Structure 1
């Protein structure tokens, strides 16, 4: 039987291969329109993939314990970049959001680094305070300040989807680490209430929610991409129209190579392929959870859990948006959607997860604090 680390890497390689193939199929039209080069996005993504594989390979080799003293440094760097990207003239504003730094032909999104840094520093804190995680200040308030700082800065960009993702994953990490459920429930209600108020005060987000509830009424505006995605799935049927045969990518689906690439997978390769993608992310979640439960210490256990949840929950949200179960959000599909920052950080996280697996294989983990398994059973 294959070992968990091997299965993890195999799943990631399959997702990466599918991503390159689908990017080549979906991006040519827009690449010609913008850059007069049908392979522009493919070449750029190949460059990002090369850098990401180097980063991921190094992360596989580095003992994950070496990340522990770097946790605060990573957080300070990420928060500084999140603040810097909001400064006009430094951060680039695209589509009403200031989320990127432009470095020549490459664009860097600091929120991707912030997601990893948040997981890293929460794992460090929960391991450091393992004897005090049930206390209000050390187990709840202090780590929630970290979550609020990261999610708040991302929210200001504005990037509501990533901010919500950080908040949910952060709370889940605290729950897995042993924080009292009553504390988490109170802060979750407060945070979610604030999020709802902010969304209600933002006309664009409110229109997206209204359009989500009444898509036909906004077919030419806010629901245009969603209805185009649904048409793509219908056209694809069980086996698809064939690679390269998509109609929806011809200007009907503007984000065909990024946030809505899952719809083109359904159209060109069929429901069978979309089911395979879902199964691969499910397999990734199972592998990550197994690694977390077998980690030899609290830091590794929380770090593995956070990484696994961040990647797979983002995939769930992306797929949920594309198939019409969730309002539209700008979250890419990990390993598949075009995007350099997301790819590099995702492979960095997989490298760290793989290294934890090398230490964890065959070990049940220590009993210093409640394990994730115990918390799930308790819940």
Structure 2
């Protein structure tokens, strides 16, 4: 079916040229299929009680998955040069949309947060697209300022100011999880882009100190930190969500209790089909499936850096920086979500790319994957043309 839609190779002068990265396509389709299965399984009881339709979240998730694939194919057939030129405009669009989220009457409140813009029957979460737009912009900045990156002002301060503006808007929602993912991705890109090591370490120390201060001055965030350190100290209040997630992992053992047989999704584990779908997967499919998902995201991360190396070797510096950023974006968000589910990090409202329920997350993830596939195609085409 994939070959019918987008052939993975073409003939050039009697030689076959692979156009699309099969590893990335394979990982994407496996994760999407697994996501559809687990969202339906995790949401069926909740949807029946709240919506009187057990397939409510399944239908919406599949609809967004199809739209995401359409967007991915569209992005795959654009040109990287267009994205490089559009970076500043996309950044401004993302900032403007984050401002709209704070406007009463336009925003939508869910569980105490205002992260969504109402668009009729659907809500859009701008922060999911902001992460992608920031990576697209920063890749261009690193290329334009390549010679000046070792200067503290050009290499660190200017980017830090942009992150500070976006971070302030995210904290007003509040959306600490997105801020953490974006900050990790941005400063890792700066480090790979060539900023001075001591500049990087200075900003890293300031950033970690700032996050510590934000946690201390906010009782809500401090409660999450303390409950993460010892969730069993208050298992029916602040530690409830993490305790239920850990129980899910324990019940899953090696091969799981079977698809659909989860007990934790039956109103024990909050956000079972969104932020904690990984815990339901662990319960129903076991440790082997958990390791499998980790491997899939590991492959995406590794392929992103292989593609970045190919692009840099072909003289496509912007594509190389963008591929690195996209790989870091996928890896950091997946690592944080899975870490939260396993009790390795404080609880944050963050989706698992391709698996969790959430239309904006799914669309942004598919667009990012389309960009990565596009970079790989153009890099291989350039390398092929020189042979």
- Tell me, in whole angstroms, the C-alpha distance in 2 between the residues paired with 1:211 and 1:343: 29
Structure-2 residue corresponding to 1:111: 127
Structure-1 residue corresponding to 2:40: 24
- Tell me, in whole angstroms, the C-alpha distance in 2 between the residues paired with 1:116 and 1:206: 29
Q: Does 1:205 align with 2:224?
A: no
- Tell me, in whole angstroms, the C-alpha distance in 1 between the residues paired with 2:20 and 2:292: 19
Q: What's the CA shift for 1:206?
A: 0.6
Structure-1 residue corresponding to 2:335: 316
Q: What's the CA shift for 1:34?
A: 1.5
Q: Does 1:123 align with 2:139?
A: yes
Contact 2:248-2:283 at 8 Å conserved across structures: yes
- Tell me, in whole angstroms, the C-alpha distance in 2 between the residues paired with 1:126 and 1:230: 41
Match of 1:221, SS state, is coil
Q: What's the CA shift for 1:271?
A: 0.9
Contact 1:134-1:178 at 8 Å conserved across structures: yes
Structure-2 residue corresponding to 1:92: 108
Q: Could you list the per-position Cα deviations for residues 173-204 of structure 1 after superposition, in whole angstroms to 9, with x for gaps in the alignment? A: 11111111211222222222222112211111
Q: What's the CA shift for 1:305?
A: 0.6
Q: Does 1:231 align with 2:250?
A: no
- Tell me, in whole angstroms, the C-alpha distance in 1 between the residues paired with 2:20 and 2:243: 39
- Structure 1 stretch displaced more, 3-12 or 262-271: 3-12
Structure-2 residue corresponding to 1:178: 194
Structure-2 residue corresponding to 1:196: 212
Structure-1 residue corresponding to 2:317: 298
Match of 1:361, SS state, is helix
Structure-1 residue corresponding to 2:51: 35
Q: What's the CA shift for 1:362?
A: 7.8
Structure-2 residue corresponding to 1:373: none
Q: Does 1:279 align with 2:295?
A: yes
Q: 2:326 aligns with which of 284, 307, 319?
A: 307
Q: Could you list the per-position Cα deviations for residues 97-152 of structure 1 after superposition, in whole angstroms to 9, with x for gaps in the alignment? A: 11011222211100011101111111111111112221222222222222222223
- Tell me, in whole angstroms, the C-alpha distance in 2 between the residues paired with 1:173 and 1:185: 14
Q: What's the CA shift for 1:3?
A: 8.6
- Tell me, in whole angstroms, the C-alpha distance in 2 between the residues paired with 1:261 and 1:62: 33
Q: Does 1:326 align with 2:342?
A: no
Gaps of 5+ in 1: 365-379
Structure 1 ranges of 4+ moved more than 3 A = none
Match of 2:327, SS state, is helix
Give me the CA root mean square deviation.
Answer: 1.6
Q: 1:349 aligns with which of 346, 360, 368?
A: 368
Q: What's the CA shift for 1:363?
A: 6.5
Match of 1:200, SS state, is helix
Structure-1 residue corresponding to 2:10: none
- Tell me, in whole angstroms, the C-alpha distance in 2 between the residues paired with 1:180 and 1:75: 25
Gaps of 5+ in 2: 1-17
Structure-1 residue corresponding to 2:377: 358
Match of 1:27, SS state, is helix
Contact 1:294-1:363 at 8 Å conserved across structures: no
Q: Does 1:15 align with 2:31?
A: yes
- Tell me, in whole angstroms, the C-alpha distance in 2 between the residues paired with 1:263 and 1:4: 32
Q: What's the CA shift for 1:48?
A: 0.9
- Tell me, in whole angstroms, the C-alpha distance in 2 between the residues paired with 1:19 and 1:289: 25
Match of 2:27, SS state, is helix
Contact 1:118-1:150 at 8 Å conserved across structures: no
Instruction: For 1:2-81, list aligned pairs within 5 A.
Output: 5-81=21-97
TM-score by length of 2: 0.91
TM-score by length of 1: 0.93
Q: What's the CA shift for 1:361?
A: 2.4
Instruction: For 1:129-140, list aligned pairs within 5 A.
Output: 129-140=145-156
Q: Could you list the per-position Cα deviations for residues 234-288 of structure 1 after superposition, in whole angstroms to 9, with x for gaps in the alignment? A: 1111111111001110001121111111111111111111111111111111111
Contact 2:100-2:117 at 8 Å conserved across structures: no
Contact 2:124-2:359 at 8 Å conserved across structures: yes
